[in-house]
């Protein structure tokens, strides 16, 4: 198919105008702000966004009650509900893992008096449940 000379000139002119209007895309920046990064894909973002505004006792309770490992949903044949897909399960576990990481980081940033090492340690233990978290007996 051949383009006529008059229309070819018009098309080239139109392409040049589009190129002039083009805005260069912003380069992807590396992970910098954990809460902003977490907020992009999380359902529990509101819980960790203001983490340090909660009293320490409330933070301890939240770690114990809200972030425990949730096993995969296998489905219910009686009602016909299908089980959880691999992608949904991995996404849910990743969300939990991100929340625990943000909690540990926020606890480490807190000012003295509002910091709770017990909360950070509790979150760390939930991140690695397969590890045996017993302190060795002191020799002495």
Our count of domains for the chain comes to 1
* Domain limits for position 71: 27-127
Decide if 63 contacts 122 (C-beta within 8 A).
yes
- Residue 20, in any domain of the structure: no
**Closest to 98 (Cα-Cα) out of 40, 140, 139:** 40
- Residue 41, in any domain of the structure: yes
- Residue 22, in any domain of the structure: no
- Residue 140, in any domain of the structure: no
pLDDT tens digits, 4-50: 666 777 788 888 888 887 777 776 555 555 555 555 545 677 777 78
Cα–Cα distance between 97 and 112 in angstroms, integer? 26
pTM of the entire predicted model: 0.59
């Amino acid at each position: 198919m051949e383009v006529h000379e008059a229309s070819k000139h018009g098309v080239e002119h139109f392409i040049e105008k589009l190129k002039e209007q083009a805005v260069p895309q912003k380069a992807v920046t590396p992970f910098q702000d954990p809460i902003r990064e977490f907020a992009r894909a999380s359902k529990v973002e509101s819980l960790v966004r203001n983490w340090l505004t909660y009293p320490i006792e409330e933070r301890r309770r939240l770690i114990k009650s809200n972030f425990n490992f949730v096993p995969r949903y296998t489905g219910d044949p009686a009602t016909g509900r299908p089980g959880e897909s691999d992608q949904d399960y991995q996404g849910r576990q990743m969300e939990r893992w991100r929340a625990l990481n943000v909690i540990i980081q926020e606890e480490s940033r807190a000012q003295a008096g509002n910091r709770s090492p017990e909360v950070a340690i509790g979150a760390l233990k939930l991140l690695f449940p397969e590890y045996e978290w017993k302190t060795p007996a002191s020799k002495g």
